[in-house]
Amino acid sequence: MISRSKTMSAAVAALASAALLLSGCATTDASATTKSETRTVQSEVKEVVMPAEPKKALGMYTTDLDMLITLGIPLASQQPIRDSGYKGFPYFFDQKALEGITPFTNYPEFNFEAILKAQPDVILNGLGYEKELDGKLSDIAPTYTFNGFDGSDWRTKFKTVAEAFGKTEQYQAWMDKYQAKVDDVKKRLAEAGKSNMVIGPVDYYEDQVTVSCYGTPCLVIKDLGLKVSPLADGEGAKLSAEQLEQLNGIDAIITTEVPEKDGANPDAFAPLANNKLWTSLPFVANKQIHTYDLEMIYGSPSGQYALLEKFEKALLS
């Protein structure tokens, strides 16, 4: 994920002070919380004392929000979305859980004012790569921070979050649901003779075709027992228009769909429409180019499950 611009700690402190003044008696009541009403847990950066049963949890990014929803944790009335063409919450999130929740843009700039306005009683912050962020958020509410973008399997982090919030049953319920779906799709792929398909996570950006394995797509590919194109190994590959024959061994590709500011989703590969090396590739000729929402790439329960359903529809329809 692209690093976000820094916001001065002093500004956050000032906003936090204003929120404290406005909250008045609520702050006094909160300070009287007994030990039995809190839990002390260890995040990736510090020990955190947070409500044992949060009533107004806030996710710092959409992936954090999705984890909170999946774990059944009550939400604050305002929650984050990203900019870049997005006007609301990801469509594949639990929309019933989001009823009455107002979105606010929290990417690429952090919106501390909106976070304060939401008056959360706990914050789940998966942006642990932003070293100064935990301290700023902790001035607003108890903050559990982890790095959800370090390249590891996000499900390991999800389990740790579930343990911290005392929601391991909800975590396991999602894992069981996901695995049951994987087993079903995997079986049907075998019956269709498609178990050995080679899948390429491919995108087109700045006049280059890129093949790389980041985030949930390659997790789903591997869970299904399919093969990832070797071009995606390590740092992946960047191919010019003259090198596209290297994609010949790929049976189907998946590619991110990034909305424009107006919400439109243009064909990323349109610039290659007249390139004979491109049009002669088997996956192009066989119409095996499958798109998925950019927000699915980042690790979260609904994102990975939705991507699994994308694979099911793309390869078995």
Has residue 88 been placed in a domain? yes
Structure tokens at 22: 């406005």
pLDDT of residue 83 exceeding 70: yes
Mean pLDDT of the 282-300 span: 94
Whole-number pLDDT of residue 36 = 62
Task: Note whether 126 and 210 are same-domain residues.
Answer: no
Task: Note whether 83 and 187 are same-domain residues.
Answer: no
CA separation for the pair 316, 34 (Å, rounded): 55
Has residue 4 been placed in a domain? no
CA separation for the pair 219, 154 (Å, rounded): 10
Task: Note whether 13 and 162 are same-domain residues.
Answer: yes
Has residue 286 been placed in a domain? yes
Question: Considering the chain, what is the average pLDDT of its residues?
Answer: 89
**In this predicted model, what pLDDT tens digit does every residue of 25-65 receive, in sequence order?**
444 444 444 456 999 999 999 999 999 999 999 999 999 99
Number of domains in the chain: 2
Domain stops at, among 150, 166, 182: 166
Has residue 104 been placed in a domain? yes
Has residue 24 been placed in a domain? yes
Of residues 225 and 317, the one with the higher pLDDT is 225
Domain that holds residue 143: 9-166
Whole-number pLDDT of residue 261 = 61
Task: Note whether 18 and 155 are same-domain residues.
Answer: yes
For residue 15, give every residue at least 6 positions away whose Cβ sits within 8 Å of its Cβ, in sequence order, or none. Answer: 112, 113, 116, 140
Task: Note whether 162 and 178 are same-domain residues.
Answer: no
CATH at residue 66? 3.40.50.1980
Q: Do β-strands 208-211 and 237-239 pair in parallel, antiparallel, or remain unpaired?
A: antiparallel
Mean pLDDT of the 216-227 span: 96
Give the count of alpha carbons within 13 A of 100, CB side only.
Answer: 5
Domain stops at, among 166, 196, 218: 166
Has residue 62 been placed in a domain? yes
Task: Note whether 148 and 224 are same-domain residues.
Answer: no
CA separation for the pair 75, 163 (Å, rounded): 18
CA separation for the pair 215, 287 (Å, rounded): 24
* CA 122 vs CA 137, 139, 161, 284: distances in Å: 10, 11, 13, 48
Contact 265, 257 (CB under 8 A): yes
Please report which confidence band the pLDDT of residue 108 belongs to, taking 50, 70 and 90 as the band edges.
confident
Can the peptide bond before residue 74 be classed as cis, meaning omega within 30 degrees of 0?
A: no
Task: Note whether 154 and 68 are same-domain residues.
Answer: yes
Domain stops at, among 116, 140, 166: 166
**In this predicted model, what pLDDT tens digit does every residue of 223-262 receive, in sequence order?**
999 999 999 999 999 999 999 999 999 999 999 987 666 5
Task: Note whether 105 and 26 are same-domain residues.
Answer: yes
Mean pLDDT of the 12-22 span: 47
pLDDT of residue 263 exceeding 80: no
Please report which confidence band the pLDDT of residue 197 belongs to, taking 50, 70 and 90 as the band edges.
very high
Please report which confidence band the pLDDT of residue 153 belongs to, taking 50, 70 and 90 as the band edges.
very high
* CA 203 vs CA 154, 236, 264, 267: distances in Å: 22, 11, 17, 11
Whole-number pLDDT of residue 12 = 47
Has residue 1 been placed in a domain? no
Instruction: Record the pTM.
Output: 0.86
